[in-house]
């Protein structure tokens, strides 16, 4: 990453340690022009109060049709424009009210605290089966062993996605989220994921199940609540957001605890701290690095800087979560931190609909892992992070179990 002429350029080294750049920007220029890895230009917002203000500002839009047109203007000359093939963009995270409100209502109930509480025993079972499979092993990569399969199994069971298709789907979403993927790879992954979700919807039409996807297919046929394209996009969004984020809560959370052994010990000694610890882990190494892109519909002043109309705004959630005006000693992990009002799940109307599910999965997986392996430790293998501006995600998490 370089900071030249006030313009921040996000390069490959940023992903290994975004916190250094963020700390600098919060101090020296909390609203700065940015060029993202594929040449998209926008404004990077790094302080807590500004992040919150942007995320709840109705002048800052998520409408994907207009955003697509703006992508043509707000790009460095010569940077390639990936084509996604089937239209997977018509989902709630890419819309403003009233469409956003209509779409969110369709799934809201399934993900409330009450809605997900009955899933806890199943999440506990999935977790303990995965931990049983580690019996006898000394070293393991915790991502394929635990952090990935817990949320992936849960969201697939909720939606009614066959087990055999899960790895393929994850392959496509990780290509889509990686800034290291070429335009051709992105196009191919988008077409494959879209084709897959279409087939899945057809299979629910011919053989309805008890799952959320069948419920959405039924909502589609019931009046004008959901168009075919919105149905496809909704299924894609839920599958992607349901696993590509929580995997990072579990993996980044375990990493942070193992790097801070006194905190891991305090949590083992008092598992009642788990809910609070999960909030601190969400703040400390936030699973989602930046919120998805938004754009200004008119000039908007943020921290004294005027962002002109029709320009992209990138809100750095993981930076806001380390702003010392809101979180004293932000670079210290403190699982007993009071009043943890982090922005890891976003803020405003797009606040994560899956937050209750993610919190519960995080508590169950991290709690059970610590209890099962009292001597759990990192190996000396250097850790590397995936190249994505959206997710904060490790490639591997090698640990010694005993």
Residue of 134, 341, 371 whose CA lies nearest to 264: 371
| Closest by Cα among 187, 173, 190, 191 to 243 | 173
User: Applying CB under 6 A, does 263 fall inside the site for ligand HEM?
Assistant: no
Residue 350 interacts with ligand HEM (CB under 6 A): yes or no: yes
Take residue 251 and report the two structure tokens written for it. Answer: 């993996």
Nearest to 65 by CA among 91, 39, 33: 91
Identify which of residues 45 and 317 has a Cβ nearer to ligand HEM in the complex: 317
Give, in order, the Cα–Cα distances in Å from 133 to each of 13, 145, 337, 372, 395: 36, 8, 34, 12, 21
Residue 213 near ligand HEM by CB under 6 A? no
Work out how close the CB of 225 gets to ligand HEM at its nearest, in angstroms, rounded to a whole number: 16
Stretch of residues binding ligand HEM (CB under 6 A), selected from 133-141, 238-246, 256-264, 326-334: 238-246
Given candidates 30, 242, 253, 367, which one binds ligand HEM under the rule CB under 6 A? 242
Max Cα-Cα span within the chain: 61
Q: With CB under 6 A as the contact rule, which of the stretches 196-204, 242-250, 258-266, 377-385 interacts with ligand HEM?
A: 242-250
User: With respect to ligand HEM, which residue has the nearer C-beta, 130 or 317?
Assistant: 317
Binding flag, residue 254, ligand HEM (CB under 6 A)? no
Q: Is 104 in the site for ligand HEM (CB under 6 A)?
A: yes
Beta carbons within 10 angstroms of residue 314's beta carbon: 24
The count of other CB atoms within 10 Å of the CB of residue 31 is 21
Both tokens of residue 293? 């892109």
**Could you tell me the smallest distance in angstroms from the CB atom of residue 389 to ligand HEM?**
12
- The piece of 44-52, 73-81, 175-183, 240-248 that touches ligand HEM (CB under 6 A) is 240-248
Residue 60 as a binder of ligand HEM (CB under 6 A): the answer is no
Q: How many CB atoms lie within 10 A of CB 174?
A: 17
User: For the stretch 154-164, what's the b/e string if a residue is b when 16 or more beta carbons lie within 10 angstroms of its beta carbon?
Assistant: bbbbbbbbeee
Tokens 């995270």 found at: 93
- In angstroms, how far is CA 60 from the centroid of its own chain? 20
Q: How far apart are CA 152 and CA 149, in angstroms?
A: 5
Output 315 or 401, the one with its CB closest to ligand HEM.
Answer: 315
Least distance (Å) from ligand HEM to the CB of residue 168?
19
Instruction: Between 79 and 292, name the residue whose CB sits nearer to ligand HEM.
Output: 292
**Cβ closer to ligand HEM: 67 or 238?**
238
For residue 391, state whether it binds ligand HEM (rule: CB under 6 A). no
Per CB under 6 A, 291 contacts ligand HEM: yes
Burial (Cβ within 10 Å: 0-12, 13-18, ≥19) of residue 248:
buried
Q: Which residue stretches of 182-273 are H helix?
A: 183-206, 212-221, 228-244, 246-258, 261-269
The yes or no reply on residue 245 touching ligand HEM (CB under 6 A) is: yes
With CB under 6 A as the contact rule, the residue among 353, 365, 368, 369 that binds ligand HEM is 353
Give the interface with ligand HEM as residue ranges (CB under 6 A): 92-93, 104, 111, 155, 237-238, 241-242, 245-246, 249, 287-288, 291-292, 317, 344-346, 350, 352-354, 357-358
């Amino acid at each position: 990453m370089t900071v030249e002429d006030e313009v921040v350029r996000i390069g490959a080294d940023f992903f290994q340690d975004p916190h250094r750049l963020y700390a600098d920007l919060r101090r020296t220029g909390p609203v700065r022009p940015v060029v993202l890895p594929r040449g998209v230009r926008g404004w990077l917002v790094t302080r807590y109060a500004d992040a919150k203000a942007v995320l709840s500002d109705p002048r800052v839009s998520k409408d994907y049709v207009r955003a697509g047109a703006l992508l043509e203007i707000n790009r460095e000359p010569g940077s390639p424009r990936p084509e996604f093939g089937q239209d997977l963009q018509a989902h709630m995270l890419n819309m403003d009210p009233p469409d956003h409100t209509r779409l969110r209502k369709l799934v809201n109930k399934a993900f409330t605290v009450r809605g997900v509480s009955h899933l806890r025993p199943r999440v506990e079972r999935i977790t303990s089966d995965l931990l049983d499979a580690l019996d006898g092993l000394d070293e393991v990569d915790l991502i394929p062993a635990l952090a990935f399969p817990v949320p992936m199994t849960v969201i697939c069971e909720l939606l009614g996605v066959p087990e055999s298709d899960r790895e393929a789907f994850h392959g496509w979403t990780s290509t889509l989220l990686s800034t290291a993927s070429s335009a051709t790879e992105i196009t191919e992954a988008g077409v494959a994921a879209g084709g897959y979700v279409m087939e899945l919807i057809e299979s629910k039409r011919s053989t309805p199940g008890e799952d959320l996807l069948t419920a959405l297919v039924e909502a589609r046929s019931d009046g004008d609540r959901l168009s075919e394209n919105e149905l496809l996009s909704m299924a894609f969004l839920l599958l992607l957001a349901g696993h590509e984020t929580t995997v990072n809560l579990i993996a980044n959370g375990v990493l942070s605890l193992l790097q801070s052994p006194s905190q891991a010990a305090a949590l083992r000694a008092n598992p009642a701290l788990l809910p609070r610890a999960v909030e601190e882990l969400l703040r400390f190494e936030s699973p989602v690095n930046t919120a998805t892109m938004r754009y200004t519909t008119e000039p908007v002043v943020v921290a004294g800087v005027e962002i002109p109309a029709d320009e992209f705004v990138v809100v750095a959630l993981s930076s806001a979560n380390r702003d010392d005006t809101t979180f004293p000693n932000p670079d210290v992990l403190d699982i007993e931190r009071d009043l943890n009002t982090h922005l890891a799940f976003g803020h405003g109307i797009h606040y994560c609909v899956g937050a209750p599910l993610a919190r519960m999965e995080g508590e169950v997986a991290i709690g059970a892992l610590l209890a099962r392996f009292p001597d759990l430790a990192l190996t000396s293998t250097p850790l590397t992070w995936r190249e994505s501006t959206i997710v904060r995600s490790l490639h591997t998490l090698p640990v010694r179990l005993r």
